[in-house]
Amino acid sequence: MPELPEVEVVCRGLRPYLIQRSIVAVHWSDKDLRVPLPRATLPGLIGQRITRISRRAKYLLIHLANGSLLIVHLGMSGRLGIFPANEPVHRHDHVRWLLDTGLEMRLNDTRRFGSVHLLPPDEAGEAEHSFFHACGPEPLSRSCSPEQLQRQAHGRKQAIKTLLMDSRFIAGVGNIYANEALFAAGIHPDSPAHTLDLGDWQRLLDQLRIILDQAIACGGSTISDFLGASGDSGYFQVNFKVYGRTNQNCPNCGQKISKTRTSGRASFFCPSCQQQKKEQASGSTPPQKTESENSETGR
């Protein structure tokens, strides 16, 4: 499944082709995705100019001049790319947007776990509070702080890796980057989330940001069939320290990388570098909100 870096790579790759371009036609297949395609409203995109493209969690947000908002989620196997309009349509091209340049943006989704949503102008402005109300903070935003994460995790006994992959806790972090960030921070994936102290959260958030930035710079990771908007594959996988490296030597200490399952997902870790934290005594007081948590400086 494309994770935050892969979706960000697609977002950046689409910008040169879409910004200030107008949609002149929309075509769709007779098959639905994870949710039914908004066939009744998709024709309303015709004649609209694209003003901005952004990302929230693992969703792509395409902003239009009339104030409406097109939201695309790639699901497990979705690809959103740019193609010449005369290129043959592939079997799983479920939505095609023809631009005034003669190029088409196509959503291809073999498994059909992706989704397309179109919010009208009166709903688009409230998207952050309606459509994305359940999404956690963006890890690459300075408004996401270790104090905030520690406070959210207070009293939660789930494995830290499970919580990291919960988009309601923090947005867009999937299995690959959760494994890599926990290794870089020296935290065992099965450590109960509430046992992490503020220093742990600071280290984890710092490493998560570094790894996500590196993955974006590398064009994402080529896992399964991910391709960027230009059709190019990413190469961050050459930097994996633990993911998919069972029984290979830890790059830090040389001990063999172990594999286990955390909430049904594969976890890779070094038994020496990532010691599991023990349960804290009950009755501990919740972490206090700090002044720095309320100041957003931007990234």
Assign residue 217 the CATH number of its domain: 1.10.8.50
In this predicted structure, what is the pLDDT of residue 125? 83
Residue among 199, 203, 186 at smallest CA distance from 270? 186
Residue 120's SS3 state is coil
Catalytic-residue membership of 2: yes
Last residue of a domain, one of 124, 158, 190: 124
Tell whether the model's pLDDT for residue 287 goes beyond 90: no
Q: Are residues 152 and 100 in the same domain?
A: no
Q: Mark 256-291 as b/e (b = at least 16 C-beta within 10 Å).
A: ebbeeebeeeebbbbeebbeebeeeeeeeeebeeee
Q: Which of 34, 52, 56, 265 is catalytic?
A: 265
259's enclosing H/E stretch is strand 258-262
77-129 residue pLDDT tens: 888 989 999 999 999 999 999 999 999 999 999 999 999 999 999 888 887 67
Q: Are residues 156 and 60 in the same domain?
A: no
Q: Mark 224-249 as b/e (b = at least 16 C-beta within 10 Å).
A: eebbbbeeeebebbeebbbbebeeee
Catalytic-residue membership of 192: no
Q: Exposed, middle or buried, 158 (CB in 10 Å: 0-12/13-18/19+)?
A: middle
Q: Which of 5, 6, 38, 58 is catalytic?
A: 58
The domain of 255 spans 146-282
33-59 residue pLDDT tens: 999 999 999 999 999 999 999 999 999
Catalytic-residue membership of 180: no
Q: Give 218's pLDDT tier (boundaries 50, 70, 90).
A: confident
**Looking at the domain assignment, is residue 210 inside a domain?**
yes
Catalytic-residue membership of 56: no
> What is the value of pTM for the model shown?
0.83
